[in-house]
Amino acid sequence: MLGPTKVYRAQYQEPYCLRGMFGLSDTRNVAHGSDSETSAEREIKFFFPDFSFYKWHTSDELTFRKGPIIFNHHMFQHVRKL
């Protein structure tokens, strides 16, 4: 979906990926995606210090696998559509 990290490579190899269609340069590449699980964990901890990997894997992730989700504006969170 994001395509290769390098925008010019994305434009050549996967022109219909997000970076291929909308990226301008390697520093203005439309979106961020971590390049490994280790990087993702470090970056998530930096931007979302209260996020619990344990809670996500033991509770939340299982819920989202069970079916479509919607955003509940009153609760201000995503919930499984019943």
Q: Are 42 and 36 in contact (CB under 8 A)?
A: no
- Catalytic, out of 32, 57, 74, 78: 32
Per-residue pLDDT, 34: 84
Is residue 57 part of the annotated active site? The answer reads no
Distance of CA 76 to the CA centre of its chain: 19
- Tokens matching residue 28: 């203005």
pTM of the model: 0.54
Distance CA 35, CA 51 (A): 20
Three-state DSSP at 71 gives strand
Under 8 Å between Cβ of 32 and 48: no
Predicted local confidence at residue 48, as pLDDT: 93
Give the pLDDT confidence of 19-72 residue by residue, as tens digits. Answer: 999 999 888 888 888 888 899 889 999 999 999 988 888 888 887 788 888 888
